[in-house]
Amino acid sequence: MSEPLQAPNVGGVAATDRPRSLTDDAWYDLRRNVVFWIAGSIVVLIVLIAAFPHLFSPIDARTANCSLADSMRPPAAGHWFGFDKQGCDVYARVIYGARSSALVGVFSTVLAGVLALGVGLIGGFYGGWIDALLARGVDIVLGLPLLLGAIVFAKALASQDTGIWPVVLALGLLGWPTPARVMRSSVIAARQQDYVQAARILGAGNGRIMLRHILPNAIAPMIVVLTILLGTFIAVEATLSFLGVGPRNVISWGTDIAEAQRWIREAAHPLLFPSGFLTLTVLAFIMLGDAVREAFDPRLR
């Protein structure tokens, strides 16, 4: 079970460079992992599309004049994904829809990450009644399944027309318990390490130990969980749009899929293309997270 992590220097061969850390090991593994490169490229591509949609589509879906004469026209040269019921170019809508998905994913992950970091770090470090109190908070939020909670949240906030923010708030405020639990257990593991004792003997205060010594060593597993969570958030955002409580007045894959489903008997292409992009994006984040987790967790090798 407990194999030495640094194998290269066995036999007393003096290495010219410093011994490889766990992070170096993980990176060494990742560089050779095909899945990591494929998933990573898709993520980069989606981010580029979300940031600069005009580079990918000649038609600006937000201002496009959709003509009902084009309604449900099948894919053809120049309009590879065809047209939807309103006669809008499906490709342009898919490209411009990436932004709301990406923004919701990133902002809600950042919010969930900050909350999880605080709760996990403080609960794991101090233990005792503080930890017990925070653990009950985690229980309460976990008792509300993500989709159900997000529906109620988003619906309650939806009366004010504020774009993606109700959904971001809903996902962020409901999504933090799982990463917080991961963070808490890795903080507890790090707290017992010798370097923490050493820092304490040298006179470091709680705040310094937490931020300078424990945080950098305990954050990796949480980041991995957050990567996977980002994929989940994008899926939930689309599901909320599909249910009609998603972001309003923005182009979104979920809304387009819901709309296309109503006219499914006429043509399937307005449904299949946004669905494909959505699945690809969610999948990319899950695979990326899995690849990084495998690299960081030597037990899975």
Residue among 102, 117, 151, 219 that touches other proteins (CB under 8 A): 151
Residues 160-179: x/- map of binding to other proteins (CB under 8 A)?
--------------------
Sequence-distant (≥ 6) Cβ neighbours of residue 38 within 8 angstroms:
284, 287
Nearest to 266 by CA among 94, 74, 69: 74
Cα–Cα dist 240/246, whole Å? 5
Site for other proteins in 260-279 (CB under 8 A): 261, 264-265, 268, 271-272, 275, 278-279
Contact call for residue 136 and other proteins (CB under 8 A) = yes
Q: Tell me which residue has tokens 């981010």.
A: 47
Residue among 245, 251, 292, 295 that touches other proteins (CB under 8 A): 245
Distance from chain centroid for Cα 53: 20
Site for other proteins in 64-103 (CB under 8 A): none
Sequence-distant (≥ 6) Cβ neighbours of residue 58 within 8 angstroms:
92
Least distance CB 229 / other proteins (angstroms): 14
- Give whichever of 144 and 199 is closer to other proteins, judged by the CB atom: 144
Least distance CB 126 / other proteins (angstroms): 20
Sequence-distant (≥ 6) Cβ neighbours of residue 157 within 8 angstroms:
165, 166, 169, 170
- C-alpha distances in Å from residue 68, one per residue of 84, 89, 96, 190: 9, 11, 20, 62
Is the torsion defined by CA of 34, 38, 44, 47 positive or negative?
negative
Contact call for residue 2 and other proteins (CB under 8 A) = no
The per-residue b/e assignment along 255-283, b for 16 or more CB within 10 angstroms, e otherwise, is bbbbbbeebeeebebbbebbbebbeebbe
Residue among 159, 202, 249, 301 that touches other proteins (CB under 8 A): 159
Residue among 130, 133, 152, 198 that touches other proteins (CB under 8 A): 152
Contact call for residue 239 and other proteins (CB under 8 A) = yes
- Give whichever of 227 and 239 is closer to other proteins, judged by the CB atom: 239
Residues 173-212: x/- map of binding to other proteins (CB under 8 A)?
----------------------------------------
Q: How many residues bind other proteins (CB under 8 A)?
A: 41
- Residue 79: strand, helix, or coil: strand
Interacting residues with other proteins (CB under 8 A): 136, 139-141, 143-145, 147-149, 151-153, 155-157, 159, 231, 235, 238-239, 242-245, 254, 257-258, 261, 264-265, 268, 271-272, 275, 278-279, 282-283, 286-287
